[in-house]
Amino acid sequence: MRYTIDGKNGKWEVVMGLEVHCQVNSASKLFSSSPTAFGAEPNTQVSYVDAAMPGMLPVINDWVVKQAIRTGLGLNAKINKVSRFARKNYFYPDLPQGYQISQSDQPIVGEGVVEVKTEDGGKRAIRIERLHLEQDAGKSMHDQDPHKTYVDLNRSGTPLMEIVSYPDITSPDEAAAYFKKIQTLVRYLGTSDGNMEEGSMRADVNVSVRPVGSDELRPRAEIKNMNSLRFIRQAIAYEAQRQVDLYDAGESPVQETRLFNPKTGETKSMRSKENAADYRYFPCPDLLPLILDDAEIEAIRKDLPELPDAKRDRFIAEYGVSEDDAITLSNDKDVAHYFETAVGREKQRDGKMVSNWILSELFGHLNKENRSITESPISAENLGDLVDLIAENVISGKIAKTVFEDMLKTNRSPKKIVEEKGLRQITDSGAIEKAIDKILSGAPDKVAEYKSGKVALIGWFVGQVMQATQGRANPGEVNKLLKEKLGE
């Protein structure tokens, strides 16, 4: 559903594209052997190349190139067999070379497509324009001294993939869904950890508005370095309204770079938006073109894992889960692995039941504790065993919740918990019948009311029997015997 804003003279629609920056999973930098570990002391991961010492020449990291190809294939994109690096010239204290080595008109990956789910439950294809490799700059630190700015070059030369979409995104929620889809994809592929908190994944959001029904592209604002889905939504909503307000006032937005302030929820101007000419791109004289062959590309393609969309479709077909549940289960590869382990390839447990226990009970606990699935106190194998006990009528669903609570605290086997606490379900008809007879004989008034037409009282009788058997009676058998005794 397209996001629109009411202006003084009609409706406006928002047009957006995202530039997603992903730090490549690599032990060393793009053009040097310096490490890329997060959190190191300032300027301890810097080589002469990273510091741009005279005479130092970059050497391409072959592993990073393969990671870019792998990501391109995951994006259903064209892999360009010939690509080139260029120098992007600008001056800033944390850019020691005075230029950034990037790719301009000949990127390693060309056009591709990503499918996202829309707010109304439909699906939209967001086109990818390109993926290119580039080196990161260092970091200016303004909070170390009241009068000085310090520079940490640890990130200088860190390998980045920049994934650029076409202006196909039509709402803040769609932008967040697209970013999340890219994050899921690179994590599945193992090409980036997608960690927004540590800055290894962030986005520049290009926002413009136009009258509804128009196909023109008006001046856009680029909102830099967004590292939160919530902030992406907020920034788009604010910026789109700001531009509509300018048009309503008879003014026109200028093409510029802006920053988002999460405290105020506003964007503010940073600088006028540069064009390619402003950067004076030219081919990097220190690096030869990257030449790829079909065999190398196909070898990487054959090594691709099952990707989220394919996994989602398989979960629906193979395990019978709903589409919404399949999306949730497949959006995180660790969750998907947990689910499939709990289902059990050999046992093929009831996929819907396993999914319900994970998404309702387990996720409820993990969210409360702010834990991920990898920190679950219940192993996937034990959750699968719990489902077995329910399916085999060893315990009821109600008892299973009691067992589950014990498992959360101890991660013990559910079978051991059931045996030690005497929670095995009573399925013996004779024992259940005894309990029913006692309840009926002690409540003749309720029996009379039931027989006079108040059939809803069956629930009361069931509750009394379950209470008398400490919740261990088989509910199905209780219902069946009660109806027989009450004359149905």
Q: How high is the pLDDT of residue 341?
A: 95
222 and 189, same domain (yes or no): yes
447 and 412, same domain (yes or no): no
46 and 134, same domain (yes or no): yes
Q: How far apart are CA 354 and CA 376, in angstroms?
A: 15
Tens-digit pLDDT profile for the chain (488 aa)? 789 999 998 999 999 999 999 999 999 999 999 999 998 999 999 999 999 999 999 999 999 999 999 999 999 999 999 999 999 998 888 999 999 999 999 999 999 999 998 877 788 999 999 999 999 999 999 888 889 999 999 999 999 999 999 999 999 999 999 999 999 999 999 999 999 988 899 999 999 999 999 999 999 999 999 999 999 999 999 999 999 999 999 999 999 999 999 999 999 998 775 555 577 899 999 999 999 999 999 999 999 999 999 999 999 999 999 999 999 999 999 999 999 999 987 768 999 999 999 999 999 999 999 999 999 999 999 999 999 999 988 888 888 999 999 999 998 999 999 888 877 766 556 666 666 767 777 777 776 766 766 767 777 776 776 776 666 666 666 666 677 767 65
Q: The dihedral of CA 394, 400, 403, 404: what is its sign?
A: positive
Number of CB atoms found within 10 A of residue 246's CB:
15
Q: The dihedral of CA 38, 43, 48, 49: what is its sign?
A: positive
Q: How far apart are CA 108 and CA 104, in angstroms?
A: 10
371 and 481, same domain (yes or no): no
140 and 256, same domain (yes or no): yes
Q: Any alpha helices (H) in 6-133, and if so which ranges?
A: 62-74
Q: How far apart are CA 485 and CA 464, in angstroms?
A: 15
Number of CB atoms found within 10 A of residue 479's CB:
15
Q: Any alpha helices (H) in 227-275, and if so which ranges?
A: 229-248
Contact 106, 84 (CB under 8 A): yes
**In sequence order, which residues have a C-beta less than 8 Å from that of residue 318 and are 6 or more positions away?**
351
State whether residue 330 is helix, strand or coil: helix
Buried b (16+ CB within 10 A) or exposed e, 106-140: bbbbbebebebbeeeeeeeebebbbbbbbbbbbee
259 and 370, same domain (yes or no): no
**In sequence order, which residues have a C-beta less than 8 Å from that of residue 223 and are 6 or more positions away?**
204, 205, 206, 207, 235, 236, 239, 258, 259, 260, 267
State whether residue 277 is helix, strand or coil: helix
| The last residue of a domain, from among 401, 420, 439 | 420
How many domains is the chain partitioned into structurally? 3
279 and 354, same domain (yes or no): no
Contact 133, 30 (CB under 8 A): yes
Tokens of 392: 């085999």
Q: How high is the pLDDT of residue 79?
A: 98
Give pairs for 416-419: CB < 8 Å, separation 24+.
418/389, 418/394
Contact 315, 329 (CB under 8 A): yes
33 and 156, same domain (yes or no): yes
Contact 395, 426 (CB under 8 A): no
321 and 284, same domain (yes or no): no
Torsion of CA 212, 213, 217, 219, to 10 degrees: -20
Q: The dihedral of CA 413, 419, 425, 429: what is its sign?
A: positive
Q: Give DSSP secondary structure letters for 391-440.
A: HTTSS-HHHHHHHHHHHHHH---HHHHHHHTT---B--HHHHHHHHHHHH
> Among candidates 385, 310, 372, 398, which has minimal Cα distance to 342?
385
- Domain residues for the domain of 474 are 429-485
Q: How high is the pLDDT of residue 442?
A: 75
132 and 276, same domain (yes or no): yes
Contact 176, 186 (CB under 8 A): no
131 and 272, same domain (yes or no): yes
> Among candidates 143, 237, 212, 126, which has minimal Cα distance to 177?
126
| The last residue of a domain, from among 420, 452, 471 | 420
Q: How far apart are CA 166 and CA 159, in angstroms?
A: 23
| The last residue of a domain, from among 280, 299, 318 | 299
Q: How high is the pLDDT of residue 428?
A: 53
State whether residue 465 is helix, strand or coil: helix
**In sequence order, which residues have a C-beta less than 8 Å from that of residue 452 and are 6 or more positions away?**
none
Q: How high is the pLDDT of residue 68?
A: 98
Contact 315, 351 (CB under 8 A): yes
Tokens of 93: 């204290």
292 and 319, same domain (yes or no): no
Angle of helix 458-468 relative to helix 475-485, nearest 10 degrees? 120
CATH number of the domain at 441, please. Answer: 1.10.10.410
State whether residue 345 is helix, strand or coil: coil
